[in-house]
Structure 1
Amino acid sequence: MSGRPRTSIGTFGEIRLVDLGGKYVAETRFRDLDGRLRKVRATAPSARAVRSLIKDRLAARVGYGSGGLLRLSSPFAELAELWLEDLRTRDISEGTKENYRDDLRLHVRPFFASYTLGELTTGRVEVFLKQELAISYSRAKHSKTLLSMLFAFALRHDAIPRNPLEGTSDLTRPPNVVQALSLEQVQRIRASAAQWRTGPGVMGPRPDGTVRDVCEVLLGTSMRPGEVLALRPVDIVETKKGMVAHIQGTVVERKKSGCYRQDHPKTGASVRRIPVPEFAAQVIRQRLALMGPEQAEVTIFHNRYGKVLTLHNLRRTFRDIVKEAGLEGLGITPRWYRRTGATILARGIGVDAAAAFLGHTSTAITQKHYIELDTLVDQTPASILDRTLRPVDPDGTLLGQRVSDEEEDLLDELDGDDLQG
């Protein structure tokens, strides 16, 4: 059966204009949320005035957003504020929440501030994402993820009829993006860290090698920086096959409370026991030898006052080390050690096993890989990392291989998940 297309809920049909001599009447039919079509009528002394009046009435009519929170005429800023309220109640880390707030404030909200929800078209979202992609792939990806959450929130409240992200172009990763450190870069940074501020003419106290040692443990374990800084003697166990570290906390930075050790890591999957390669284990043993039994719950890597070594100080010192290594301008941060480890493990034991080792998996995968490993930790990842990254006679075979699509996906997920550290 053919006929007139059905008017979508929350929308209206053709506006009819009638000149009654001295006044004008505009009329259309609006399909309400109960599915019924109802007339909407306006009267004004001129054609221009009546068109404006009926459009105002249609915009104000309850359509999407009958729950009283949002409607098509709501400004984007209103959606943003309601989403932020919802974000406060979500069971995710405070660091991730802060990153979402910053991305919204600095990147997403300024572009969409002048639009209502009804004006959030696929084309406008496409323009925004292209602008973000021109700045960096990572920034565009984070912005797209944030918009996806915002639009999903709007859909849950019947504020919009469809997700404007649908139909936008896929984000294309730029070619030749460096995903991990090369073996040469690893050795240059290692040498620079060992010599940092040790030459003649250095003003102030000489470094005690803490950041140098942190770099070795980051390199050997592929932990997040905050996880390494949170390690305590009580988290370290020596077994017949080698050292095992129990990751059960992280160091975090908060705008109001500063830097402190949090008694749980970033996610549930991040609570894990991992084998430590011998070159990193030696560093940890040397640090433990300087600590007394009463310091079992003091962080292994602490400042001269026994307090937590802050992420800010780690990043600042690491920047100086990278600069002295002649690698300034490449964007290398402590997180690159994790990406390097991920690359080696993905090629050595497979992407899924690498993700489990890195603490970046669903609960199901974590259980699959770690229920048994709680009592018997597989030393294979440590052997692969030790062979590839040890200071003397490292084997660069795995780092020399080409990047696979699965490996790129894993590294992208790591970058998105590990924003706070």
Structure 2
Amino acid sequence: MARRTIDPGDWGDISAKKQSNGRWKATCRYRPWDGGELKPAGAWGATEEESKANLRRNVRDRLAHSDSEHEKITRDVRLSVLADLWLEEKALDPGCSAETLKQYRDEIEESADKRGDRAAIKIKPALGGYRWREAKSVVLDRHLKRLLELGYYEKAHRQKVILKGIMGLGARHLNVPNPMDNVARLRRAEERSGPRAADGATLTGLRSQMEDWLSGKAIPGTPAYRSGPKRSRLVLDASDLMLATGGRPGEVLAIRKVDCVPLDKDVDWTECRRWRVWFTGTIATDRETGKLYRKSKPKTKNSVGSVVVADFAVPTLIRLLAAAGDDPEAVLLTTRTGGLVSPRKLSGQLRKARGSNYAWVTPKTFRKTVGTRVKRKKGLDAAAEQLRHGSTVITERFYVDDPEDVADYTDALEEGWGGE
């Protein structure tokens, strides 16, 4: 009878023999996960069964030590375990920033913060109990559609990306197709209705409401200030600069004093009415310490550049420059204690200041508003340049809320049906 083939990560038949000292020795051969040559293994015990049990435990330990990840990824692995392994893999990827890794972790794991929303839908609580063989395409598809039904479009897209990575890790190790490949496509809100920019009336109303919020008044969706630290003007100042430049939140939060260049050469800088701002960095999180730092390059290579600040934000810029002191490297927008501000914190403050009347407004809305206004006045190429996009395709698809007016072609429609 032919000897059974031993697959990687497995061992052959175990035999045991009583030795001259009265103890039992069990032996077998096992094959490491790397698919190399068979290796011998042995273990002792007071009885035959004890020696075999000790040997099985020893071999498992050796295989786990040789490749613990392979041992864990089977068709019975739970998605909670697979998610942890995927996060470990992404942590080793130099192309995955600390901010991105934190966003992944926030979507996967339930928040430990007691102030967190316990009703928030996370991947582990929702899907972590499923085994790989149970997490079929229909299960994953149903989970994402549930998010869409609740109106969480961006969350659904983020979790789809994450689930594709998690299930892809299992698919690679098990040599099977990725179940996420058969999940229905999720169309972005922009693909359905186009980008939404704020018009003049919206901006006027929003700013007035944000001023009320800053003064401590109650606004729709946010109660009045009662106690604790006074509300910070940070969100208003950052909104001014985003609307005046089209900068991304992280880029605006990373503006230093040295990045601001006065264009009126014959007046003191405090009286200058024309300014150019350079975007040379963004706010990032250190992967090891979790602390914020100013990253010396923005989102893409095309993002490095400068724009002229719109006149309405010049007083805000001058006030921030004066408060920054004499250090040219000082960042303009900081916390009360002079620390850096993360884009996530800025978004959280905006959610409070915008209330329920402007719940659809996000920092990205300001960027879309800038792109839309420049496009209407100067054209699509100018809008792409203002937003520092490498292509007008991205600008037109995701940042311009400006339906085209069709030219007058009625002369081609006159014949027949009421025409001559």
CA distance in 2, matches of 1:352, 1:202: 45
CA distance in 2, matches of 1:142, 1:350: 32
Q: How far apart are residue 127 of structure 1 and its match?
A: 1.7
Match of 1:246 among 269, 278, 286: 278
1:214 matched to 2:238? The reply is: yes
Q: Percent identity?
A: 24
Match of 1:151 among 159, 167, 175: 167
| 1:229-251 CA distance string (max 9 Å, x none) | 22111112245896332223333
Give the structure-2-normalised TM-score. Answer: 0.58
Moved more, 349-358 or 144-153: 349-358
**Structure 2 residue runs without a partner (length 5+):** 1-34, 36-67, 111-121, 218-223, 266-273, 406-420
Q: Are residues 95 and 304 of structure 1, via their aligned partners in 2, closer, same or farther at CA, if it must alter by over 3 Å?
A: closer
Match of 2:104 among 100, 104, 115: 100
8 Å CA contact retained: 1:287, 1:300: yes
8 Å CA contact retained: 2:286, 2:293: no
**1:158 aligned counterpart, secondary structure:** helix
Query: What is the one-letter code of the residue matched to 2:106?
Result: D
Greater RCO between the two (CA within 8 Å, min separation 6)? 1
8 Å CA contact retained: 2:257, 2:329: yes
CA distance in 2, matches of 1:177, 1:249: 29
8 Å CA contact retained: 1:227, 1:249: yes
CA distance in 2, matches of 1:278, 1:353: 15
8 Å CA contact retained: 1:193, 1:212: yes
1:339 matched to 2:368? The reply is: yes
Matches within 5 A, 1:60-209: 70-90=73-93, 91-106=95-110, 107-135=122-150, 136-155=152-171, 157-173=172-188, 179-194=196-211, 197=214
Matching residue of 1:267: 299
**2:102 aligned counterpart, secondary structure:** helix
Matching residue of 2:22: none
Q: Are residues 188 and 258 of structure 1, via their aligned partners in 2, closer, same or farther at CA, if it must alter by over 3 Å?
A: farther
Query: What is the one-letter code of the residue matched to 1:231?
Result: I
Q: Are residues 251 and 82 of structure 1, via their aligned partners in 2, closer, same or farther at CA, if it must alter by over 3 Å?
A: same
Q: Are residues 352 and 198 of structure 1, via their aligned partners in 2, closer, same or farther at CA, if it must alter by over 3 Å?
A: same
Matching residue of 2:261: 237
Moved more, 87-96 or 268-277: 268-277
Matching residue of 1:298: 330
Q: Are residues 300 and 111 of structure 1, via their aligned partners in 2, closer, same or farther at CA, if it must alter by over 3 Å?
A: closer
CA distance in 2, matches of 1:166, 1:309: 38
Matches within 5 A, 1:342-361: 342-344=371-373, 358=387
8 Å CA contact retained: 1:71, 1:160: no
Matches within 5 A, 1:20-59: none
CA distance in 2, matches of 1:85, 1:67: 14
CA distance in 1, matches of 2:234, 2:84: 42
CA distance in 1, matches of 2:375, 2:300: 21
Moved more, 90-99 or 279-288: 279-288
Moved more, 237-246 or 89-98: 237-246
Query: What is the one-letter code of the residue matched to 2:97?
Result: S
Q: Are residues 149 and 108 of structure 1, via their aligned partners in 2, closer, same or farther at CA, if it must alter by over 3 Å?
A: same
8 Å CA contact retained: 1:303, 1:309: yes
Q: How far apart are residue 169 of structure 1 and its match?
A: 1.9
Query: What is the one-letter code of the residue matched to 2:403?
Result: R
Q: How far apart are residue 89 of structure 1 and its match?
A: 1.2
Q: How far apart are residue 257 of structure 1 and its match?
A: 6.0
What is the aligned length? 305
CA distance in 2, matches of 1:335, 1:209: 19
8 Å CA contact retained: 1:122, 1:164: yes
8 Å CA contact retained: 2:374, 2:383: yes
Q: Are residues 115 and 255 of structure 1, via their aligned partners in 2, closer, same or farther at CA, if it must alter by over 3 Å?
A: same
Matching residue of 1:4: none
Q: How far apart are residue 83 of structure 1 and its match?
A: 0.8
| 1:98-144 CA distance string (max 9 Å, x none) | 11112122522333323332333222222222212212222221111
Q: Are residues 234 and 284 of structure 1, via their aligned partners in 2, closer, same or farther at CA, if it must alter by over 3 Å?
A: same
**2:306 aligned counterpart, secondary structure:** strand
